[in-house]
Structure 1
Amino acid sequence: MNLDAISSIAATVEKMKPDYIALSDSIWDFAELKFEERCSSQLLARTLEENGFVVRRGIAAMETAFIGEFGSGKPVIAFLGEFDALAGMSQTANVAEPRPMAAGATGHGCGHNLLGVGSLMATIALARYLKENNLPGTVRYYGCPGEEGGSGKTFMVRAGAFDDVDAALTWHPAPFNGVRSTNNLAVLEYYYRFRGVAAHAANSAHLGRSALDAVELMNVGVNFLREHMPPDCRVHYAITDTGGRAANVVQAKAEVLYLIRAPDMTQALELAGRVEKVARGAAMMTETAVEILFDTASTNLLPNITLETAMHENMVALGPIAFDEADIAFARKIQDTFTQEAIRSSIRLYQIKGDVFSNAKVDGSTPLHTGLRDFDGQSHFRAGSTDVGDVSWVTPTAQCWAPAWAIGTNPHTWQVVAQGKSPAAHKAMAHAAKTLATTGLALMSSSDLLAAATAEWREKTSGKGYICPIPDDVMPASVHSR
């Protein structure tokens, strides 16, 4: 792409940084859970309106979902923003030790305060460039609530919010800088609610039918099932209701939540059917009843190498992030809270091998990734799941990663929350914004690039049309309200 255009957009993002750092920090302070992100979504939506965007709220029957639009005509380029936090992740910012601000409170344990604002910066920077250069096209910001256990984007896809989008771009905070093409797993979530008969555990246990026994037998059965399922599948559970704390009572109710993951939705549904048989078998063994409640789901991610290659090329043109000694020093303190195995595992997980700028091997001796991950143009397995996957099945989609965290940091930990307001994280956020905006401009400027990305997407979806994994009668308000 034109280096002058890249420089222009990068300069715009740099000018925006002070105000948008404050915006990100405010969302970090709000730390609102899925579908409750009222302050965060209002702040983001209002910022779009102040920059000339037309904002539609309440998308897909979700109070905190919105779309901001600027411009007109084709192509339509979407930027995805998230802003939900996690329960029980309270942590003081910029300290390298566990220090909750309030016991049991919420915290941004996945960096979505940075993610949402970084995508917002990209959206507004690109809109300004289009306006200044009188260029056609439509830029949209998708305010996507409930990524953590809510599958907000899946509901938006089901409602047709992406039907006219030509390409979608996003990013995520990480311990590394670059593009990594991944095949994330599809996921289905179900509650298995058992009902039995209460009884005195000493005098009349023979009259009771233990729902807690049924949960435990189900868990044992699924443990045996793990040996006989495809190796890339994953099954996790949490007992959400033990039926009470009295040991001398036969528990009449109990509940367990299962997450069932597989490389694609067809496999996930098949595996869910096998898990259901185990649940019904446990109910039979204990003479209890089981109710199976669908909670939510997300489809596997469909990578687009064409878009990812373009994104990587823009990251090369942008150059390294200008971290300073203070950034490195704080990252070192955070990294000191990890074992060496955790650091090596982080490097393996994100497959940080060669470095574009230095050709050096990344070994974790430098606590921040100061270079750029080499992009090999190949997709790699990643065991996590994301509702970005559903978007990728209805429009070409790509994402990059930016080094907001010290190498060794794992998502959903206090270390992520502690780094959420750090100067290094702010720099990574701005760098991601530059990458997204320049890639969006490349798509708007080159019909060949967009055509190639679309052709790849059509080839990968040929004969495998998207089927929304969330039934029509399941609404966002019901998710995790059981």
Structure 2
Amino acid sequence: MQNTEEVWRLVDSKKDEFVELSDRVWGMPELAYGEHRSAAEHLAMLEKEGFRVTREVAGIPTAVMGEAGEDGPVIAILGEYDALPGLSQEAGVAEPRPLPGDGVGHGCGHNLLGSAAMLAATAVKDWMAANGVKGRVRYYGCPAEEGGAAKGFMVREGAFKDVDIAISWHPASLAGVNEAVSLANTRIDFTFVGRASHAAAAPDLGRSALDAVELMNVGVNYMREHMPDGARVHYAYLDAGGIAPNVVQARAKVRYLIRAADLAGLNALVARVRKIADGAALMTETSVSTQVISAVSNLMPNAPLERVMHDNFERLGPPEFDDADRQFAEAIRATLSEEDIAAAFKRAGVPVKKDIPLADFIVPLEAKGDGGNGSTDVGDVSWVVPTVQARGATCAVGTPFHTWQLTAQGKSPLAHKGMVHVAKVMAGTAVDALRDPAVIDRAKADLAARTAETPYRSPLPADIQPPIAAMSRGV
């Protein structure tokens, strides 16, 4: 307890600098693999705080790592800083008001995510130095969580091979240990090639690649009735073949995002989608080729680390928001539907409380959510290193992510308070593991038991590299 409170005070002693870091990154939103300015800001802060810095981790230009300490166990704290397209928004206003520019915005709170993770790592570094504790704490600045699977590539290249435990978090409406449930997924581009012709004078000579894409989409839509519960399939046209309707489209491309509860289910579903694509090509007398863009594993739970993190949440209590925070949160909630608000509680597995604009409780550890699940490349880390994630309360309860409302709250005092709060939880979790080696032993045993029959196999094909150029352009 005393050591935990000491590291919490160390978090408070440097919180202002990291709040400023978060706000700077919010103001320079960059897409996956293109986070050059954001990564530079993180590198500068790591150097300022005295970390030993590694650039271009796993050969990725915007992946960074800072390490402090000597010998002992290695504690990794994971951060992110990529943004999303189409979510530009003025800060601090409760109405859609995009900023001038390219339309990119921090609609998932990764400006907060990276800053809080580094704040926690810095506090642990300072605590180890003050107490003469052996061990190493690492901050991993991980790019391209939004669809780029950077952590998966980092795992594949051995970036976490000597890590004992990993700690991370994500912004959320409510505070508590993140239930380790996510969907494995892959993104695959299907390119159809046919034959161009004059659509009026010689339509019989054409073979439409656009027809093939549309037939593929129809086939996948019919498959939806026969997929496992919880599986998801989404698609987007990357190339519809041109804008001239009097030309039979000779080339068309569609990107599919396929999700399933685990890697085995994902592989089976991908095989079915590929057969549908082959059938569409056969029907249209076109050819089809595929390229895997990225892939991530489902999250692996770790009960011992989840208990330690929850104990830190309970000791700390919920964030201390004030009336001004609640007033802004109410203004944001006025733009939301009742379904949005209820969904936040359903995902956390707790009863709906419509009268609270901001989190005023800690989600019980035993709560099991019944809402939809997304995907994260933290999943791949969790298969090779005992991993635990927090949810930090950084927005009005019910705020949907990947929306202008989330971007609008990204620099607000309430987001800053939630960020500092969760940094204390992560730092306390790390200190508890450093003080009691049995925590790490139990965490490793738990992971070994869960993976004994299904060892980790990267879902990334061995021959693909991070899609750095394409994704940084928003493709």
User: TM-score if structure 2 supplies the norm length?
Assistant: 0.97
What's the CA shift for 1:347? 1.6
1:9-57 CA distance string (max 9 Å, x none): 1111112121111110000011011111111111112211221210111
SS in 2 for 1:416: helix
Equivalent residues of 1:309, 1:377 under 8 A apart: no
When residues 405 and 343 of structure 1 are mapped into structure 2, their CA distance, relative to the original with a 3 A threshold, is same
> Which residue is 1:109 aligned to?
107
* Residue 464 of structure 1: aligned partner: 454
1:174-253 equivalences under 5 Å are 174-253=172-251
CA distance in 2, matches of 1:388, 1:133: 31
Secondary structure, in 3 states, of the residue corresponding to 1:271?
helix
Shift in Å at residue 378 of structure 1?
6.0
Structure 1 unmatched ranges of 5 or more: 354-361
1:398-433 Cα shifts (integer Å, max 9, x gaps): 001111111111111001100000000000000110
CA distance in 1, matches of 2:282, 2:289: 13
Q: 1:404 maps to which residue?
A: 394
Structure 2 Cα separation of the partners of residues 102 and 289 of structure 1: 42
Partner Cα distance (2:262, 2:52) in 1: 36
- The question of 1:416 aligning with 2:416 is answered no
Picking from 376, 388, 402, the partner of 2:378 is 388
**1:453 paired to 2:451:** no
Is the deviation greater in 126-135 or in 258-267? 258-267
Q: What is the number of residues matched between the two proteins?
A: 472
SS of residue matched to 1:23? helix
Equivalent position of 2:262 in the other structure: 264
How far has the Cα of 1:243 moved from its partner? 0.6
Pick the aligned partner of 1:340 from 338, 341, 364: 338
Q: 1:381 to 1:347 in 2, by over 3 A?
A: closer
Structure 1 segment 65-214 matched on structure 2, within 5 A: 65-102=63-100, 104-214=102-212
- Mean CA deviation greater in 409-418 or 340-349: 340-349
Contact 2:52 2:66 in 1 (8 A): yes
| Identity fraction in percent | 47
Gaps of 5+ in 2: none
One-letter amino acid matched to 1:268: L
The alignment's C-alpha RMSD in Å is: 1.4
Q: Which residue of 1 aligns with 2:42?
A: 44
Q: Given residue 172 of structure 2, which amino acid in structure 1 is its aligned partner?
A: A
Q: Is the 8 A contact 1:146 1:152 kept in 2?
A: yes
Which AA in structure 2 matches 1:375?
L
Shift of 1:180: 3.1
Q: Distance between the aligned counterparts of 1:478 and 1:35, measured in 2?
A: 5
AA of the residue aligned to 2:449: E
Q: Does 1:15 align with 2:5?
A: no
Quote the Cα distance in structure 1 between the aligned partners of 2:46 and 2:57: 16
Letter in 2 for 1:443: A
Distance in 2 separating the partners of 1:419 and 1:338: 14
Cα distance in 2 between the residues matched to 1:479 and 1:170: 27
The 8 Å contact of residues 348 and 369 in structure 2, kept in 1 or not, is answered as no
Cα contact 1:183–1:381 (8 A) shared by 2: no
Partner of 1:476: 466
Q: Provide the residue aligned with 1:433 in structure 2.
A: 423
Tell me the distance in 2 between the aligned counterparts of 1:124 and 1:479: 32
1:207: Cα distance to partner?
1.0
Match of 2:279 in 1: 281
Q: In the alignment, residue 362 of structure 2 is paired with which amino acid? A: L
- Quote the Cα distance in structure 2 between the aligned partners of 1:433 and 1:369: 16
